[in-house]
Every structure is written in C-alpha cells, then in structure tokens.
Structure 1
Amino acid sequence: MPASPSPVPSPVTSPPPSPSPRHPLPAPSRFPPPVRPRPAPATGQPDIARAAALLADPSRARMLKALSDGRALTGAVLATEAGIGAPTASAHLTRLLDAGLVTVRSSGRNRFYRLSGPEVGHALEALALIAPPLPITSLRESSTTNALRRSRTCYDHLAGRLGVALMGTLLDRGLLTGHDGTHRPATAVRDRSSGYGHDHHYRLTPSGLAALRQLGVDLDALPPRRPLVRYCIDWSEQQHHLAGAAGAALTARLLALRWLRHGTRPRVVHLTASGTTGLADWIGLHPPE
C-alpha cells in the first residue's frame, strides 16, 4: 500500500509584540476631547443709545472736546477743562476708557489720555451741527468760539476758515485736484454736513507733491496704510478741508515751522506773523479775516 502523506504542520503564529515599557501606548482616556471652535458672537446694530449716554454728560463732553485736537492730556488738565474735581474726572475717564472712546498711557506719575481715533472727534463735530448753542456769558467764551471758527484742528489736521482757505488755495494753484472744495447738500450722495467725505476723490498733482517737499514735508515717512489725501466737510464753514496723511503732515509741519501755534484752549490754533508771510510766499495763501 502506498504510504499516507505526512500531515502538514499548522503554522505557528507568534503573539503580538508587547509595547516597549519605555514607550507605552497612551490609554484612550488620555486623549483630549476634540476642541470645537466657538462661533463668533453675532453683532447687531450700533448701540447709539449707549454712545449718546456717554456723551450726554456735560463734563465728559467737555473732556472729549478738549481731546479733539489729537493731543494727549493729563487727567488734571481735563478736570480743569471740565470744571470738576480730580476724583470726579477720574470716574468719568474710567467710563470713557471702558467704552473705548479714549486710551491712556502712563509716564512717570502722570497718565495721559487721548481719543481712541479720529472717528470720536468726527462724531463730536457731527453732533455740533444739531446741538443747540450754549449761551455765551463771558468775553472769554465769545473769543473762544470765534477762535474755533477762525482756525482749529480737526483731530490732527487744520480746519475752520483757515483750513478751508488752505484747501481752496491748493485747488486754485493746481496743487490738488478732484473737485472744487464746495459742499453741496442737495446733490451729496454719501457726504454729510460734518465728518469725512466720500463723494469725491481728491489727489495731489505732481506740482502739489513737489510743493509739500519744498516745505519740508517728508512724504516717504507718511504711514502707508493711511490714505494720502482725504477731505472733511467743515462743520462751521460747510466746505471741504484737507485731511488724510497729507493734511496731518502739513499741519504738523506748519506747527514745527511755528507758522501755527496752539492756543490756550484745546483745538484752537493761531496763525503767527511768520506764518502769514510764509503761506503767502509758499502758495500765495492770504488768510481770511
């Protein structure tokens, strides 16, 4: 008989290797749960009532107006401008800080407050159009009102009759182009009676750029993210004045040359004798009375 075939041995399977004791596999419970991003909170309409409530207090309004020329002032100076004591002023400034209307920095023992941005100043300018005038009870108040209308700063650029005249001369001399500098409410689309304008596109001509450099304005040092030329509708004159990086740099240069000087009241600036001569020689500007 033929021999029976030998049985095939079954394959020997080795047990899976044990993990190295030096590198144990983490237990499933050690894995953190997946982090699901939280949806961004929905934002609704602007809270005008809250902003209006902050501005409704006369002391806070006076402090904000004092800061509207873009400079930083101490709490003591702001308390004097508002006619209140230091503890009361500190409480008001805390509310303005919490609302994001002002910022603060410390220098030694002093804390310097500044508007958080030009939008706050423009909001105050817009409210001035609908606000009833305060009664003038002293010669000092009358002088301040007239000085503000004559020449003032709108945050960091020149406004008032002098600011409007400066922009008009730039247009007349062909240094600036884009419109004639006149605000026409009947045909305005987005422009309002105060604040930044949007309906027209002004730009400096090559001659205008050369004129600014001739005056000593370093155009290469201007912030690149800020528009070079913008315009505001002047609330007191209802005409355009020059804003943007060029407007701010030009105003800073006029102050550095001492053609302009700051007044004793916030926002007021005065044209000096050398400024009268210098503006006439530079672009033929003869300031209005």
Structure 2
Amino acid sequence: MLKPSQPVGNDNALEDAIAAVATAMADASRVKMLCALMDGRAWTATELGAVADIASSTASAHLARLVKGHLITCLSQGRHRYYRLAGQDIATLIESMMGVSWKRVDGIQTRTPLRLRHARTCYDHLAGEVAVSLYDALIAGGWLEADGAALTTNGVAHFRHLGIALNPTSRRKACCACLDWSERRFHLGGDAGAALLLHCEHKGWLARTPGFREVTITASGRLALKNLFNVDA
C-alpha cells in the first residue's frame, strides 16, 4: 500500500503571496498613492496624503501597510522620510492593472486627459502616444529587435552616438516591450527606455509636470524627435 507523501512546506505559498499583494493594494487611498509614485520620484507622507485626500495620520498607516507588503520602500534623509515604489516590477504590475481596470469603466476614454495620453512617465520611462510612435520608429529603423527584447547592434551604435548611456551591468532587462495602458500598444521599457527618457530630459526635449506623470514635449524636443526618429510629437 502506497503511503501518502509528506507535505513539504506550504503548498499554498504562491496563492497566499498573491492574496497578500492584492490585500495591500485593496484600498482606494493606497491605490492613489501608488499611482502618484508611478512618476518614479520619492514622495513624503504629507505629499502622498494630499494626493489621496486623507489626514497625515491615516496616510502614515496606509504607507506602513504598503511598506509591509513590499510594494514601496521608505528612505530616510535627515529629518524627512520619503517613499517610492519598491522597483520596476511593482511599476509594471501597477501599469498592467491600470490597463485591465481601464477596460472595466464605461466611458472612461472620453474623460482621459488628452495631455496625459499624449506623453507621460511610466515609472522611469516614457509612455503615451509619443512613446508608442517612438517604439514603432525604433522597430522600423532597425534599432530594436522585432519583439522589443533587445537593441540591435545598429541600435546600440545609434544610442552610443546620441550619447544615451546604457548600463551593461544592470540587473534589470536591457530592453522590453511595455504595453501602454492608454494606447493598447507597446512602448520602450527596461534599461534602454529609462536611459532614453533621462537623455531626453537632460537635452531639454521634454519637461515633467511637478507632482504628476504628465510630460510636455518642448519645441526642441519636437524637432529632435522628427529629425532623429521621424516622430511627429
């Protein structure tokens, strides 16, 4: 007679972990805070409380819950404490959830701020219509592999020529096709996407709106994107 195998560890560990993440996010105020942190910056509890329209004491409790759930991290600098997303994987999760949620709200497209759809940050890379057009241009120009998983040799050379600094020792993906929740098409993510956004910002081709994900393409940026990538921004 066969003996039943002995249980090893927790057979429901994965399910329990998923439930814990969902529980940590299952509050409108905490979701507002997470969405605010999608601009890639570190925010104080006071700032995040204002975004969520809740009292500071309530904000602190919510932030502690998000830290415990490993969705955000807390950084201390002098007397101040700052909060930011725990990493690119968390940003990707939130962006994906935005896309799924977007489909379940009737008429939401008509209320979407046009400037936010045009250009915004997706944690540490560019998103929106401009980013999608830029991704398509990189594919068409042979700078990017067809699946968006890597820059081609030609693409690496062009990035180097433009002065876009890539990190060869980064632990994150060098490149990835990130699904844009408003456009339902891909934009450039990974280390290459982050480097491209940083380069555009340093060149003055775009300007961020403080405290928001919205990005404004400047006149010099429109000219550069047209000349370099044939993208009409």
Give TM class, smaller chain: 0.7 to 0.9
| Structure 2: distance between partners of 1:80 and 1:223 | 38
Q: Does 1:125 align with 2:105?
A: no
1:244 equivalent in structure 2? 190
Unpaired runs of at least 5, structure 1? 1-39, 179-199
- Do the aligned partners of 2:95 and 2:181 also contact (CA within 8 Å) in 1? yes
Quickly say closer, same or farther: Cα 1:254–1:134, change in 2 above 3 A.
Answer: farther
Deviation of 1:69 (Å): 2.3
2:122 equivalent in structure 1? 154
Q: 2:14 aligns with which of 45, 48, 53?
A: 45
Q: Does 1:256 align with 2:202?
A: yes
Quickly say closer, same or farther: Cα 1:250–1:162, change in 2 above 3 A.
Answer: same
Unpaired runs of at least 5, structure 2? 1-7
1:55 equivalent in structure 2? 25
Count how many residue pairs are aligned between Structure 1 and Structure 2: 221
- Do the aligned partners of 1:232 and 1:242 also contact (CA within 8 Å) in 2? yes
Quickly say closer, same or farther: Cα 1:45–1:159, change in 2 above 3 A.
Answer: same
Deviation of 1:236 (Å): 1.4
1:173 equivalent in structure 2? 141
1:23 equivalent in structure 2? none
The share of aligned pairs that are identical, in percent, is 40
2:220 equivalent in structure 1? 274
- Do the aligned partners of 1:222 and 1:245 also contact (CA within 8 Å) in 2? no
| Structure 2: distance between partners of 1:85 and 1:223 | 42
**CA-to-partner distance for each residue in 1:80-130, whole Å, 9 max, x for gaps?**
111112111111101111111100111122111011112222222222234
Q: 1:112 aligns with which of 48, 58, 82?
A: 82
Q: 1:215 aligns with which of 152, 162, 165?
A: 162
TM-score of the two chains, using structure 2 as the length reference: 0.85
| Structure 2: distance between partners of 1:92 and 1:224 | 32
Report which of the two structures shows the higher radius of gyration computed on alpha carbons. Answer: 1
What letter is aligned with 1:62? K
What letter is aligned with 1:122? T
Give the structure with the higher percent helix.
2
Quickly say closer, same or farther: Cα 1:74–1:134, change in 2 above 3 A.
Answer: farther
Please say which of residues 58-67 and 202-211 is displaced more in the overlay: 202-211
| Structure 1: distance between partners of 2:32 and 2:148 | 34
Deviation of 1:201 (Å): 5.6
What letter is aligned with 1:203? A
What letter is aligned with 2:15? P
Quickly say closer, same or farther: Cα 1:134–1:64, change in 2 above 3 A.
Answer: farther
Secondary structure of the corresponding residue to residue 46 of structure 1:
helix
